[in-house]
Amino acid sequence: MIEALIIEDEKLAAEHLQKFIEKCDADIKIIIVLDSIKASVKWLKNNQLPELIFMDVQLSDGLSFEIFNRIEIDCPVIFTTAYEEYTLKAFKVNSVDYLLKPVNLNDLQYAINQYISQKDKLKQPDNNDLKFKVDKLLKNLSQNYKTRFFVNVGTHIRSIEVGNIDCFYSMGKGTFILTNEGKSYDINYSLEQLEALIDSELFFRINRQYLVNINAIGDIITYSAGKLRIKIKNVNDSEIFVSRSRIKEFKLWLDK
């Protein structure tokens, strides 16, 4: 029996992955599913390392690579990620694999087969080598913007291209995507996290509530004292203003 754990903050994605793992190899036992950096570090500090970890790259409280900075991990890791596949191909190595989400059964089977075929070799991996590869991947990913987001629609997972998003907005304690079809979906990111993940040439944080696509701006109305009101496509709110502190930067952004 191979003991493994899943680090994944999306419940449906974790359940989907666990079912696929069971189909690929009945000898792999998932001992726990963790949903954040904080929970993962706490559990790993107080428990024996599993033989294998399935780890999502983007968690609700940051990139999972931060886990490696807080605790030594010397077991093989298979990453899952929503980043573009071309970014990941250069980082295929014996001890670590990367799967594009939503995870494909054939790709998962291949990764598990790779792990099993090299299991003895991986019992004593070079942790410094693993950390180097993770740091290199993190640097590479930081230079590439997200091109799509995966959202839960009932029991389904849907992929939404960034170019089809009119804006990101916060409401209450949640963050949402608004598509050019006028549909909203909640996502596990804060607006602050999104600003670092998406192309600043395309999106601008006009205030605390909205991160807007330049192509979704329907109109800009100038008021006295330099106030700017924005009309965003598919948004009924008529009282959306650019924060005073951001007006100059906003105008520069529009003129690029």
Whether 156 is covered by a domain: the verdict is no
What's the total number of domains in the chain?
2
Q: Are residues 190 and 246 in the same domain?
A: yes
Domain termination site, one of 108, 142, 176: 142
- The pLDDT value recorded for residue 89 is 44
203 C-beta neighbours (distance < 10 Å), count: 24
- The pLDDT value recorded for residue 146 is 84
- What's the pLDDT band for 138 if we cut at 50, 70, 90? low
- The pLDDT value recorded for residue 117 is 80
Tell me if 206 sits within 8 A of 242, measured CB to CB. Answer: yes
Q: Are residues 61 and 124 in the same domain?
A: yes
Q: Are residues 81 and 186 in the same domain?
A: no
Q: What pLDDT, in 10s, does the model give residues 89-115?
A: 435 433 467 787 888 899 899 889 888
Q: Are residues 55 and 177 in the same domain?
A: no
| DSSP designation for 75 | S
Is pLDDT of 131 > 60?
Answer: no
Whether 149 is covered by a domain: the verdict is no
Q: Are residues 178 and 136 in the same domain?
A: no
Q: Are residues 7 and 95 in the same domain?
A: yes
Domain residues for 27? 2-142
What is the mean predicted confidence (pLDDT) over 123-147?
57
* Alpha helices for 47-183 (secondary structure H): 66-70, 85-88, 105-117, 127-142
Q: Are residues 21 and 110 in the same domain?
A: yes
Is pLDDT of 253 > 70?
Answer: yes
- The pLDDT value recorded for residue 243 is 92
What are residue 232's phi and psi, to 5 degrees?
-105, 130
- The pLDDT value recorded for residue 77 is 87
- Distance from C-alpha of 209 to C-alpha of 237, rounded to nearest angstrom: 12
State how far Cα 216 lies from the chain centre. Answer: 23
What is the mean predicted confidence (pLDDT) over 181-186?
93
Query: Three-state SS for 227?
Result: coil
Q: The domain spanning residue 138 has which CATH number?
A: 3.40.50.2300
pTM over 0.85: no
Q: Are residues 105 and 209 in the same domain?
A: no
- What's the pLDDT band for 134 if we cut at 50, 70, 90? low
